[in-house]
Amino acid sequence: MAFINKFKRFKPVLFIVPALFFYLVFMVIPIFRTVQFSFYSWDGASPVMDFVGFDNYARMAGDPLFWRSLLHNIFWIVSTIVLPVGAGLILAVMLSSHLVKRKVVFRVTYFMPAVLSLVAVGIVWNWIYHPDFGVVNVFFRMLGLDSLAKPWLGNENTVLPSLIVAGSWTYYGFCMVVFLAAIQGIDRSYYEVARIEGANVLQTFFRITVPLLRNTITLLVLNSLIGSFKVFDIIFLMTKGGPFHSSDVIATYMYTQAFQMNDIGYGSAISIALAVIIAGCSIVYIRFAEHQG
C-alpha cells in the first residue's frame, strides 16, 4: 500500500521527465555549448579548439556586415509590425462587422497563408518576383510601365522590401485570427452607447476597439519583435542573404559564418549577441507596455 501511495505521489513527475529530458538535450545543453564555442576559434571539424576569449565579440563589434544585418532586422521589425499586425487588425474589424457576408469563406481565405509551408511560400514568391515572367513585372508591362519592371530579388534597393512583403503575407492571417478572438470578447454595449452618442466608425475604432485590444496588440507586437529578430527561413530560401549581403539579417549572417565559412566560434558569438538583443528588446517593450497600461 505504501508503494502505491509513493507511486501516486511521483506519478506527475514521470510525465514530466520525458519532456524535461528532450528540453535539456535539445535546448539547455546546446545553449551552454554555444556560449562555450563563442570563446573559441574552431572550424567545427578540428579536434582542437583554440581559446580566444572575447576576440570573437570584439571582431563582431567591428564587423560592418554584422551591423548592416542588424539594421536590416530593425527595418524588418518595423515593417512586420506595421504591415501584418495593421492589416490583421483592419481585416478582423471588417469581418466582425455586420457589413460582410460569408464571413467563414473570407476567414479561411485570409488565414490560408499562415498554414502554408515556408518552402512553398518561398517558391511561389520567387515565381511572382521573376524578372521575365513574374506576375509583378508582367502586370507592369501590361500597363505600359516597363520602367517599373525590375529584378526585384536581384536589386540591392528592392530585395529587402520584396522579402518583407512575402514574409508579411504569411503572418497577417495569424494576426487577424487573434484579433477576431479578442474582438468577440468585447462587450457590445460599448458600441451601442457610442452609436447612441453619435460616434462615427473611426471614432468607435480609435476610442473603443483599439484601447480594449491593447493587451492583444502588445502580444502580437512582442511576437513580431521576437520573430523578426529570428527571421531566417524565408530569406534563406529566396535570396540566401544576397545580393552582396543586401538582404542579410543576423540569423542568415550567423549561418553563413558558422556553416559556410566554417567559423563556429564567430557564428556562436553572433547567436549569443542575437539572444541578448531579443531578450533586451522584449524586456524593454514589456516594461513600456505595462507602463502605458
In the chain, where the domains are located: 68-292
Q: What angle do CA 135, 139, 141 make, to 5 degrees?
A: 120
Do strands 40-41 and 50-51 pair parallel, antiparallel, or not at all (unpaired)? antiparallel
In this prediction, residue 75 carries a pLDDT of 93
- For 51, phi then psi, to 5°, come to -75, 125
How far apart CA 49 and CA 40 sit, in angstroms, is 6
How far apart CA 264 and CA 42 sit, in angstroms, is 6
CB–CB of 68/58 below 8 Å?
no
- Cα dist from 151 to 125, 183, 236, whole Å: 13, 41, 18
**Given phi > 0 = left and psi -120 to 50 = alpha, else beta, which region is 245?**
left
In this prediction, residue 1 carries a pLDDT of 54
In this prediction, residue 5 carries a pLDDT of 64
In this prediction, residue 44 carries a pLDDT of 86
pTM given for the model: 0.86
- For 189, phi then psi, to 5°, come to -65, -30
Cell numbers found for residue 26: 535539445
Which parts of the chain sit beneath pLDDT 70? Answer: 1-8, 99-100, 291-293
How far apart CA 158 and CA 155 sit, in angstroms, is 5
Strand, helix or coil at 5? helix
Q: Look at the block and give the residue holding cell 521576437.
A: 226
Q: Which of 78, 30, 24, 38 is nearest to 254 (CA)?
A: 38
In CATH, the architecture of 68-292 is Orthogonal Bundle (1.10)
Cell numbers found for residue 264: 563556429
Read off the amino acid at residue 202. Answer: L
Q: Look at the block and give the residue holding cell 578540428.
A: 46
Tell me the DSSP string of 244-274.
Answer: TTTT--HHHHHHIIIIIS--HHHHHHHHHHH
In this prediction, residue 182 carries a pLDDT of 92
Q: Which of 134, 114, 115 is nearest to 123 (CA)?
A: 134
